Amino acid sequence: MIHHDRWTHDGPAGIRLDRAIAARYPWLSRAQVAALLDSRSVQLGGRPAPKGAKLPAGAVLEAVGIPEPSDLRLQANPSLLLRVVWEDDWLLALDKPAGMPTHPLRADETDTLANALVARYPNLAEIGNPPLFPAMLHRLDTGTSGLVLAAKTQAVFLALREAFRRREIEKHYLAWVYGDVAAPGRCDSPLTHRTRSPCRMRILAPGETASGRETFPAATEWVPIRREEGRTLLDVTIRTGVTHQIRCHLAAAGHPVVGDRIYGPPTGLPRHLLHAHTLRLVHPATSSPLLLAAPPPADAAWGNG
């Protein structure tokens, strides 16, 4: 822990405070930088300042209680259940339950899929993007269940990350949505973080412009599988992986995911009914086609309990 750090900003005038902090402590995530500023751990000119403050040239900054890399190591939690649905020498396919975060935002969080993963496979702690998000190639929202892919070697991690970047991996989800969806649909609207809530995304309006840091291309396709009692079960396909992509696109199409507290109507369900069902990819080590699958939760909300 860095108990006290004082320095003079020698960069250009006008840089945001949160970006200056990230440059000073490059091992911190954006969420960790935001938490430090929210806790008033960083002062500008002797006073706490918001993360969006613009720094003048020569600004004097002080910080207390800054975690060092050794403070941020992921903690193994062997008490958590880890559902492995497929494994070989190079890859793991994990089935994340709804309600469990994919990885922690702080080192003192221990009830995530990442904590369970390193408890069973401690050597994976150094693969990928440690310290708090090791080995895993993608995230699921806390309320979303289903497949998460993890690499067992750094070479495979890098190969799969490139495959995701090139949109070569096809992800299929099952989603119960409100309304009667009679035909297949598609949404190609870009998504943006520019909203009043940091926990919400929205579609970029026609003619609206936003910076590349705020806008993300996204394409979502869906096919109805079953309709009953005012709702429809969809097979949803994506190759992009934008935060809340499926939930936001389906809500914009007039069919929010059942139980979605952000994009849908109020509900008594404890979670939204979205499940990462299958992954189609080319195995990075064997070059063979690979289809991975995890069944949806076996409960009444999914209609199979």
- The residues that are catalytic are 141
| Calpha distance 54→18 (Å, rounded) | 9
| Calpha distance 92→147 (Å, rounded) | 10
Helix 30-38 vs helix 17-24: angle between axes, to the nearest 10 degrees? 120
| Calpha distance 75→228 (Å, rounded) | 44
